Amino acid sequence: MRSLILSVCLMMAGFGHAIEEKLYKQHGDYKIFYSAFNTAFIAPEIAVANNIVRGKDKGLVNIAVVQELGTGLPAVITGRVSNILQQTQALEFVAVREQNTIYYLAPFEFDNEDFLTFKIRVLPQASGPAPVYPYDFKFQKKMYID
């Protein structure tokens, strides 16, 4: 069975705008990859295996923290998503571990053609002696019911 992260990457590769956009933020030595997408794109068997509720009006935020590509790092991630009417939803992230990577998923709901603003806080869990500070960022995405 294909992994969830593989299916998400393949799904995003099909969109031309995903290639043109920079889908990560740099925070010191860390790269924080992010995306938001409609759960209808996830194959049913992958959704069941990862306890994801699929639906036309249901989305997922995906966050991964890396220092070197292919190796996800533990982090504490919190966030909120709001539409243009300032209706806000808290994002509750769940860690998904696959082989040597960790990524974090949070579900949200949306209406067709919602222009959403995601405000995310990431605190990498460093193992070294140097202090690590939280990193706040936001991104926007227009969501469609397909």
Cβ(81)–Cβ(118) under 8 Å?
yes
Please report, for residues 36, 40, 69, 95, the alpha-carbon distance to residue 105 in angstroms, rounded to integers and kept in the order given.
9, 15, 19, 7
Cβ(12)–Cβ(35) under 8 Å?
yes
Q: What is the mean pLDDT of residues 28-51?
A: 92
pLDDT per position as a tens digit, 3-29: 555 445 434 433 334 444 578 999 988
Q: What is the mean pLDDT of residues 120-146?
A: 88
The pLDDT value given to residue 3:
54
- pLDDT category at 50 given cuts 50, 70, 90 is confident
- Number of neighbouring beta carbons within 10 Å of residue 111: 13
Q: Which residue has tokens 């990498």?
A: 124
Model pTM?
0.82
The answer, yes or no, to whether residue 46 has pLDDT greater than 70, is yes
pLDDT per position as a tens digit, 58-114: 999 999 999 877 788 999 999 999 999 999 999 999 999 988 889 999 999 999 999
Q: May I ask the CATH class of domain 4-143?
A: mainly beta
Domain ranges of the chain: 4-143
